[in-house]
Amino acid sequence: MDRDLLSYRAHADHPIAAPLSDDSVRRLIDRTVHRADARVLDLGCGSGAWLLRTLSGRPGVRAEGVDLSATALRAADERATAAGVRDRLDLHRRDATDFPAAHAFDAVLSVGATHAFGGLLPTLAAAREHLAPGGRVLIGDGLWERGPSPEAVALLGDFTDLATTVDRVVAEGWTPVYGHVSTREELDAYEWCWTGSLASWALDHPDDPDAAEALARSAVHRGQWLRVYRDSFGFLSLVLRRTDG
Ligand SMILES: C[S@@+](CC[C@H](N)C(=O)[O-])C[C@H]1O[C@@H](n2cnc3c(N)ncnc32)[C@H](O)[C@@H]1O
């Protein structure tokens, strides 16, 4: 099954592709988008879930989203049109690591997309290139709540603990002005939605050629989550300003 289509189906009931509740998302956006006329950029915007929530109720804000996935961008296009915010949203299908923006942004978001840049710090370096003076970055990435097993590292990549992660960010010249560590409930809700939405799609479409694979991929993912990384993986969202302005 096409990887982007699988992800689209797996996120049917949890459009934010990260373990965050609606309340957490709202608070993080409120802390990040601090001007009524803000220009907002999302690097790895997926189906635009963050940008739709950013634009809704903020009529002076304009946004741009960058992603490689045609499937995700099509969903962003349709959802923005349905929400009545499409005229304030530009979508770019291209690699976010070398996005040539025409101007600087008051807020740069990148949640769950650090793998595209080679990790947390390279993602922040890329975000900085786009940031206007006084601007804010919202970044979301994994961390280890407890020492991971070698299997968890092999599956998810290597992270650090909360204090070390924040130290590394601060050492690169950033000051956290807000943050959120995903709760057990948020982490579990995301995984139940991911695996459950994909499985439900397969059960609802038994004659689709992708159905058997979708059901199998859901079961494999559920097993990896429950047996390999549920006890060690966590997720950190940080709102950051440049320490030097
Ligand atoms: C886990 S999803 C997060 C989506 C969104 N930020 C959210 O939280 O809902 C990661 C996204 O990064 C995108 N992506 C991966 N590599 C990319 C790249 N080099 N340039 C742009 N987007 C990329 C994927 O297509 C996917 O939509």
Domain residue spans of the chain: 3-242
**Per residue, what are the HEC states of 194-207?**
HHHHHHHHHHHCCC
Residue 124's identity, in one-letter code, is: L
Instruction: Report the CATH architecture of 3-242.
Output: 3-Layer(aba) Sandwich (3.40)
Are the beta carbons of 153 and 205 closer than 8 angstroms? no
| Ordered per-residue pLDDT tens for the chain, 245 residues | 899 999 999 999 999 999 999 999 999 999 999 999 999 999 999 999 999 999 999 999 999 999 999 999 999 999 999 999 999 999 999 999 999 989 999 999 999 999 999 999 999 999 999 999 999 999 999 999 999 999 999 999 999 999 999 999 999 999 999 999 999 999 999 999 999 999 999 999 999 999 999 999 999 999 999 999 999 999 999 999 999 97
- Ligand 1 within 6 A of 48 CB? no
Return the structure tokens found at 140.
């979301």
Radius of gyration of the chain from its Cα atoms, rounded to whole angstroms: 18
Ligand 1 centroid distance, CA of 206 (Å):
29
Are the beta carbons of 218 and 195 closer than 8 angstroms? yes
Return the structure tokens found at 156.
């998810």
Count CB atoms within 10 A of the CB of residue 192: 14
Q: Is 184 exposed, middle or buried (0-12, 13-18, 19+ CB in 10 A)?
A: exposed
Ligand 1 centroid distance, CA of 67 (Å):
6
Closest atom of ligand 1 to 11 CA is 9
